[in-house]
Amino acid sequence: MRYNSPATQLALVATTLLLTTAIRRLLNNHLLQITPPNTNLTYTQNLTTGILTSLSSIIAIPLTNLAGPRPIFLFYTLTNTLYAASIIIFYQYNTHIYYKIANILNIMGSEFARVVTFGLVLAYPAEKWKARTLAGFLILEYFSITVGDIIAIRNTETPESERFHAAISFLCITSLAPLPVLAMRPSSSSVVRSNGVHLVTRKTTAWREVTQTLRIFINRYMLLLLPYMFSYPFLFGCTNVWFPSILAFVLYDVGKLFIIVLGQMLDVQWAGRRTRGLLGLSILVVFFCVSIGISAALRILKYNLTGLDPLWPQDIQAQFIMDAVLSQQYNALMCSYFFAGTASSFIELFGYWVMGTLTNDLKASARFVGIYHCFMALGGALGFWLPHITRRGGFTSNVPMFVASGLTMVSFIGVGLVVGRIAETNDWTLARINERATVYLEDTGGEVCLDPVVIVPDVKYHQNESHQS
């Protein structure tokens, strides 16, 4: 595997994420002991965090395209190191102020890094590996969260001294993260595929980034995808998913593993890309319908709530109702976790894959991913907040969940329209350079051009724009 190949560069990105995001999420709840034994707060987010995350996604677009991936990753590794140090200060001096500041910076740095990561994952892999590469990075993200939550659940009485030493280990490990970042090649023209394709990025300015980001909202493809980006995180928040046991986590993540199957189906060239996309969307819709059907049935069913005292605090009433559901509909509840994990991972992977069919340009990919993450964060935050303001006693209103389910179903129509219009390939959006400095362009039928570097415009993204370098 060549050092300047996309595979090597993505391996360096994955190593960076293992030393930062994965370790932080793996240990975070264990270090701070913020997760009660019968719920999982990591899978929900409050309104403030959601707004901060969505704003960070937008800010990440010009930063990524102007500064490039390496400075963004270096900033993220710095915020992760500060976060680890703030936990040590918290245990040493019993002060929260440094932790709060470091946490805000780390949330921003994490979202910057996510935009860069998935922008690279959309732009770097060849088309026949794109969905499987996306699946690999998503699994890395999913399982670090879940294993961390299981650690927290199993160690609710961990002594503070043990958590302090774990924080020191966390700081030592995450301090190594800048090494793979410094080993990354700049994205401009130095990353080369095995067939001689140089992944050339376009020159840009701050004003151009502002105008091109705003133009996304008049791009007909993205307008059809925006409801899809918002609706499922909104539904997940409205459903107010709770995880009563380790088995629930395991079933949820076993369901998420099925994105490997979806990625394989989308990548293997057994049919045209449009056909594969439509079949993938059909499979997604089936799993979504099964998932939401089971969840809705569990919501509508009547349960024996003998012993529930309406004078209890809301949290105590809610816990009593959860225990009643768990004892009276255990099998259906466990099935719901499996299908919820499968549906959520399918929806996220398919959204990224569709965006990858629209462009191979790194800067356009960063704009798409930034907007995608912004709407996902807003949807999740609003979805989590809405049921709390409609709660009566220990009961959460079912109306937000049913509205969100309908919105998600409608959003699939827009996605289907986009998939029905995608081209069979978009390799022609890349600059092709061979050793003789001759460029072969697929969209000209193999015509030989004498320019040493030609950046072919993204027809799907900007119909009439052309760039040369």
pLDDT in tens, 254-301: 888 899 999 999 998 888 889 999 999 999 999 999 999 998 888 887
Contact by Cβ (8 Å): 119, 349: no
| More reliable by pLDDT, 185 or 391 | 185
Asked if pLDDT for residue 369 goes beyond 90, the answer is yes
Burial of 128 (0-12, 13-18, 19+ CB in 10 A): exposed
In the prediction, which pLDDT does 189 show? 52
Checking 329-335 for CB contacts under 8 A at 24+ apart, the result is 329/298, 329/301, 329/303, 332/294, 332/297, 332/298, 333/244, 333/248, 333/298, 334/247, 334/248, 334/251, 335/251, 335/294
In the prediction, which pLDDT does 155 show? 56
Asked if pLDDT for residue 423 goes beyond 90, the answer is no
In the prediction, which pLDDT does 262 show? 94
In the prediction, which pLDDT does 198 show? 59
CA–CA gap between residue 87 and residue 251 (Å, rounded): 32
Residues of 47-64 as b/e, b for ≥16 C-beta within 10 angstroms? Answer: eebbebbbebbbbbbbbb
Amino acid identity of residue 128, one-letter, is: K
| More reliable by pLDDT, 126 or 347 | 347
Burial of 195 (0-12, 13-18, 19+ CB in 10 A): exposed
pLDDT interval class at 77 (50, 70, 90): very high
In the prediction, which pLDDT does 463 show? 38
CA–CA gap between residue 454 and residue 434 (Å, rounded): 12
Q: At what angle do helices 23-32 and 130-154 cross, to 10 degrees?
A: 20
Q: What are the pLDDT digits (tens) for 169-225?
A: 889 999 999 999 999 877 655 666 655 555 656 677 888 888 988 888 888 888 899
Cα dihedral value 67, 123, 25, 150, nearest 10: 180
DSSP 8-state class, residue 18: I
CA–CA gap between residue 23 and residue 145 (Å, rounded): 9
**What domains sit in the chain, N to C, each tagged with a CATH number?**
6-185+206-419 (1.20.1250.20)
In the prediction, which pLDDT does 460 show? 43
In the prediction, which pLDDT does 196 show? 55
Asked if pLDDT for residue 35 goes beyond 50, the answer is no
Mean pLDDT of the chain: 78
Using alpha carbons, select from 141, 170, 125, 233 the residue that is nearest to residue 24.
Answer: 170
In the prediction, which pLDDT does 150 show? 66
Asked if pLDDT for residue 447 goes beyond 50, the answer is no
Considering the chain, what percentage of its residues have pLDDT values greater than 90? 30
| More reliable by pLDDT, 166 or 230 | 230
Asked if pLDDT for residue 397 goes beyond 50, the answer is yes
Mean pLDDT score, 310-317: 69
pLDDT interval class at 41 (50, 70, 90): very low
Contact by Cβ (8 Å): 349, 121: no
Q: What are the pLDDT digits (tens) for 321-332?
A: 777 777 788 888
- Tokens at 393, concatenated: 């006693």
Question: SS in 3 state form for 343-390?
Answer: HHHHHHHHHHHHHHHHCCCHHHHHHHHHHHHHHHHHHHHHHHHHHHHC
In the prediction, which pLDDT does 412 show? 96
3-state secondary structure of 431: strand
DSSP 8-state class, residue 441: E
Asked if pLDDT for residue 356 goes beyond 80, the answer is yes
Q: At what angle do helices 47-67 and 362-389 cross, to 10 degrees?
A: 170
In the prediction, which pLDDT does 36 show? 39
Between strands 197-198 and 447-449, the pairing is unpaired
In the prediction, which pLDDT does 61 show? 93
Mean pLDDT score, 10-26: 87
